[in-house]
Structure 1
C-alpha cells in the first residue's frame, strides 16, 4: 500500500483547491502496477 498526500490539481471558481480523483491518480501513476486508488477527503476538503 502506498499513501499519497497533497494531490492538489487546480483551483475552482471559488479559489478552492480541487484534488485528484481515483481515475486521475491511476493515470498519473500508470507506469506502476497500480490496480486500485481511493481518495480520502476530510470534512473541510472536497473533490467537487
Structure 2
C-alpha cells in the first residue's frame, strides 16, 4: 500500500499529471528516488488558469 501511495494521492486529488505519477510510481517506485519523485509530483499544487 505504501508503494502505491503517490499514485493514490494523485488520483484522489485529481492532479493533472496523475497518469504520469502512476507510470513513474510503477516503473521507478522500487527505488527511493523514483518513489519520492512520484510523491512530489502528486503533491504539487494544481496550475491556476490565468484570466487575462
The TM-score, its normalising length taken from structure 1, stands at 0.24
The TM-score, its normalising length taken from structure 2, stands at 0.23
Question: By percentage of residues, which structure has more strand?
Answer: 1
